[in-house]
Amino acid sequence: MESESEAISKGVSGKGVIFIATAVLVVLLIAPFERPVHGELWSRLSDAFHLPLFVVFTVVVYSFLPRRSAWTTVAVSLAACIILEGLQPLTGRTSSLVDLLNGMIGIALGIGGIFAWRSERRILTGSAHFLVSGLFFLLMLNPAWHEWQALRFRAENFPMLGDFEQDGDLRSWRATAGREELVRLALSTEHGTRGTGSLRVQTRRGSWAGITFANEGLNWTGKERLVFHLFNPGGEFTLRIRIDDRDSDDRFTSRFNRHLAVQPGANEFVIPVEEITGGPRGRTLKLAEIRQVMLFTGENESGRVIYLDHMHLE
């Protein structure tokens, strides 16, 4: 007599398996979730895992199609990749060309693996496919590896946010997202206030050009002031500083904001942490959950060159 498990197994059709695989993709790729601590690291890992995810999805689609067809498999997998990536903004997530590209590479590797392991010389072709897939995956993991190194560097140097004496500082500071084309960063031996190094920031004409320090995982509780030095080789201008915690968003009132009058030559800025905590309207900025510190110019601002050094908490 046929067992209950065998009956259930036989009742699951090929279309049902594909539906389940698609449902899993939907949950993993577009379901909303709370941004975790070290969100940038998890974002880079998510980018990389699009590759094996679509390798598996492509193999499942091919294996359970009523009529196995490579072209149909590619069409179904590619449609899922494009549609799911396009739907992400509707659930509060961010669509990405990197994710799309990684998914497409996964589809190609999935199709390649099907034919490699069905070949008469499957040991040779399958092994070659496994090696190529592994190399691609390691390449996709490279940004996550650099982000993990940046996390270690920040944790080891806290409460120093940037003294710019080591290359590791460039992993923690980057051009503000969406403004990369307006900003160039480089370590410099000019105008350092502690040691010999500083961060040279050059901006082009544009709006809100600036730099961001990724602070996630660093606890400011118990600190009294944020201190940093700027050297301005040009004329006086106004620089903005913005500090976000995990509850901040694009609303001006959800974070700490302040305008800084940058004079020609050397400048030192001291901002009491008590003032920072009172930045958002109607709540207190959470010092244990500070997410980022941003320095940026204004709207339609002329290009600037500044040297940042010795940003730290006391």
Q: What is the CATH number of the domain that holds 232?
A: 2.60.120.430
Whole-angstrom CA distances from 57 to 49, 78, 124 are 12, 10, 24
Residue 304 CA to residue 238 CA, distance in Å, equals 11
Residues 191 and 275 in one domain: yes
Mind listing the pLDDT tens digit for each residue in 59-77?
888 888 777 788 999 999 9
3-class state of residue 98 by DSSP: helix
Q: How far apart are the first and last CA of the chain?
A: 76
Same domain? For 150 and 165 the reply is no
- Whether this prediction's pTM lies above 0.75 is answered by no
Rounded to 5°, angle at Cα 170 from 166 and 176? 155
Q: What is the DSSP string of 43-104?
A: HHHHHHHHHHHHHHHHHHHHHHSSS--HHHHHHHHHHHHHHHHHHGGGGT----HHHHHHHH
| Cα 26 to Cα 143: distance, rounded to the nearest angstrom | 24
Q: Once rounded to an integer, what is the mean pLDDT over residues 237-251?
A: 91
The verdict on 228 and 213 lying in the same domain is: yes
Tell whether 9 and 89 lie within a shared domain: yes
Residues 209-227, mean pLDDT to the nearest whole number: 92
Q: Kindly state whether residues 89 and 189 are assigned to the same domain.
A: no
Examine the fold and report which residue of 154, 181, 200 is the final residue of a domain before the chain moves on.
Answer: 154
Q: Which of 124, 154, 184 is the last residue of a domain?
A: 154
Ranking 31-35, 104-108, 259-263 by mean pLDDT, the lowest is 31-35
Q: Report how far residue 198's alpha carbon sits from residue 186's, in angstroms, rounded to the nearest whole number.
A: 9
Same domain, 148 and 199: no
Q: Are residues 177 and 291 in the same domain?
A: yes
Strand-pairing partners, residue 196, are: none
Q: List the Cα angle 26/133/52 in 5-degree steps.
A: 15
Q: Tell me the residue type at 302.
A: S
Q: Dig out the tokens for 47 from the structure.
A: 């980018």
Q: How confident is the model at residue 5, as a pLDDT?
A: 44
DSSP 8-state code for residue 30: H
Q: Which of 129, 154, 179 is the last residue of a domain?
A: 154
Location of structure tokens 């969406």: 178
* Cα–Cα distance for residue pair 153/161, rounded to 1 Å: 10
Is residue 168 very low, low, confident or very high in pLDDT (cuts 50, 70, 90)?
confident
Range of the domain at 280: 160-313
Q: Are residues 211 and 251 in the same domain?
A: yes
Q: Do 270 and 200 lie in a common domain?
A: yes
Q: Is the peptide bond before 233 cis (omega within 30 degrees of 0)?
A: no
pLDDT class of 230 with cuts at 50, 70, 90 = very high
Count of domains forming the chain: 2
> 149 pLDDT exceeds 90?
no
Residue 8's pLDDT is 38
Asked if residue 236 and residue 113 are part of one domain, the reply reads: no
| 188 and 278 housed in the same domain | yes
Q: What is the pLDDT of residues 262-305, one digit of tens each?
A: 999 999 999 999 999 999 998 999 999 999 999 999 998 899 99
Give the DSSP H/E element, type plus range, for residue 215.
none
**Is 166 found in the same domain as 302?**
yes
